[in-house]
Amino acid sequence: MVSVATTRAIAVGLLYVLVWETLLSNFVSGVKLLSVSHYGLGIANGFVNDTALQAGLTVTTSVVMGVIVTGLALALALAVNLLSSFTLKGEPA
């Protein structure tokens, strides 16, 4: 989706990782619930149970939110695929 909006999709993706995943999720505690990296840390902390990981999320929360985010991404991809082939009556195909 980013590549449609800009010609510099990689730069925008790296900016997202820098700002959202690093700065905001470490300094604002509520953002950890929306951070994909903290989902991974929460799941890893469930296996290892190490306080050095500083996950901030339980295993259950991490798995549930990971499934929700994955489902939303798949639904978005399906919607884009279906809408790309959508035509109105009277339009040339």
Q: Which helix (H) or strand (E) holds 91?
A: none
pLDDT of residue 34: 79
pLDDT band at residue 26 using 50, 70 and 90 as cut-offs: confident
Give dist(CA 66, CA 40) in Å, integer: 9
Looking at the structure of the chain, the number of domains it has is 1
In-domain check, residue 92? no
In-domain check, residue 54? yes
pLDDT of residue 3: 60
In-domain check, residue 91? no
In-domain check, residue 90? no
| Domain encompassing residue 10 | 2-84
pLDDT of residue 17: 77
In-domain check, residue 7? yes
Supply the mean pLDDT for the chain: 82
pLDDT of residue 27: 77
8 Å CB contact between 74 and 80: no
In-domain check, residue 89? no
pLDDT band at residue 78 using 50, 70 and 90 as cut-offs: very high
In-domain check, residue 10? yes
In-domain check, residue 31? yes
Question: Does the structure show a pLDDT above 90 at 88?
Answer: no
